[in-house]
Structure 1
């Protein structure tokens, strides 16, 4: 089935429609409406599916359930990046394009709050910590730029020893009552001390104090982080894929 998509000059109705299910659509809503980037938005008449293409980076972002719906002609011809792509859309992309790299993730919702503890007294990362944190974050082309922006704009938590962060977690975004945490890491030599649990509990509680739900995307191959999520009682609520897309297969 082909649903014609319309280029939206006024995106306010799409914004409102997506906010009705903000947990499912938070990544799309933040990137398109909260990141400061410029996007061309397309949607079907009922706004059950939507597509956004960044004028700045060429990234393509999807929203909605694309099962049974053909990919639209508005996609770039080749060499683009898809961000938090739902499985229903990514399987169609895989069938039509060369996949240069892919990072399939589980999407988790944390418990509303954890018990109070010493972790609630932990402090944030600072801009002085950017080089160290970026050294352990390799999922973007410009990790220092990405981490600097996130630390400056959103909340984070770290454990320090000798003044240096040895375990940390921060937020990728926060919008409409939903936060998405990530770039979590514990340095070698400081593992198996419960530090990952502590920083996770701290940031979830900090968000809960403000009435915000916390989510995260975890790469499916990251068995350690998945085990942590399950141990802490996270609920798996979806899946999505980040991928570098090459040329068409035919």
Structure 2
């Protein structure tokens, strides 16, 4: 595998199936601190892209062995990897943990925007603490808190507030371009807040120049139902996992 600094080397590969590369495209667009490795410097058929300590892999059959050799050389964490690649990797390394998700996406031409019946604002840095408190993957140190602050500062968000200005329902765009970290306080659920927040965030994501997409754990029926009501289309399964 060859380390490269020119992400445009992937243009042709991504153009063949934009949906399959949504997280890669998001990282290239939104992050500066990532590393990119390709199997061929002229016409790549596979790649590995890393952000922080997470890896994404993609390959056609021609690049399978090259990509897998690097992917399995030591324990790694993988984010949003298509299930067929997960299946290949787990044949070669033991799995530490894994979470299977559906990939949902929405093309701009298919988006049917409806004006929310609630006032939708954007999150502020002052809201980061409450968002982090309700984050499924909140860290014991300040890592998740700092990540959420940066997310609020750099990318689209949407929030509904109570009469005192406190966040009660919110959603954000993560650093791979996906919509997520969505949450509605328990006492405010089943009132249409989540639908309104995510409808508005869809519009803001498209206006920001991204194709909206989400990874939803396969047994999360409430989120699946909401995504489908908003017009998202399902495109197979992706896996978040780590190897031993």
Give the structure-1-normalised TM-score: 0.82
Say if 1:80 and 1:118 are closer, same or farther in 2 by CA, change over 3 A.
Answer: same
Deviation at 1:65, TM superposition (A): 4.5
Query: Distance between the aligned counterparts of 1:222 and 1:46, measured in 2?
Result: 39
Deviation at 1:212, TM superposition (A): 4.3
2:187 corresponds to: 189
CA offsets, 1:1-57, max 9 Å, x none?
xxxxx4143534423224424332121133356412241412246423212345xx4
Aligned residues of 2:156 and 2:208 also touching (Cα < 8 A): no
Of Structure 1 and Structure 2, which has the larger fraction of its residues in strand?
1
Deviation at 1:198, TM superposition (A): 0.6
Query: Distance between the aligned counterparts of 1:80 and 1:213, measured in 2?
Result: 28
CA offsets, 1:131-180, max 9 Å, x none?
11111213364321221111111011111012111100110147xxxx42
Residue among 71, 81, 85 paired with 2:81: 85
Structure 1 unaligned spans of 5+: 1-5
Of Structure 1 and Structure 2, which has the larger fraction of its residues in helix?
2
Query: Distance between the aligned counterparts of 2:230 and 2:87, measured in 1?
Result: 31
Report the RMSD for the aligned CA atoms in angstroms. 2.6
2:117 corresponds to: 118
Q: Which moved more, 1:198-207 or 1:139-148?
A: 139-148
How many residues matched? Answer: 234
Residue among 45, 51, 68 paired with 1:72: 68
Structure 2 unaligned spans of 5+: none
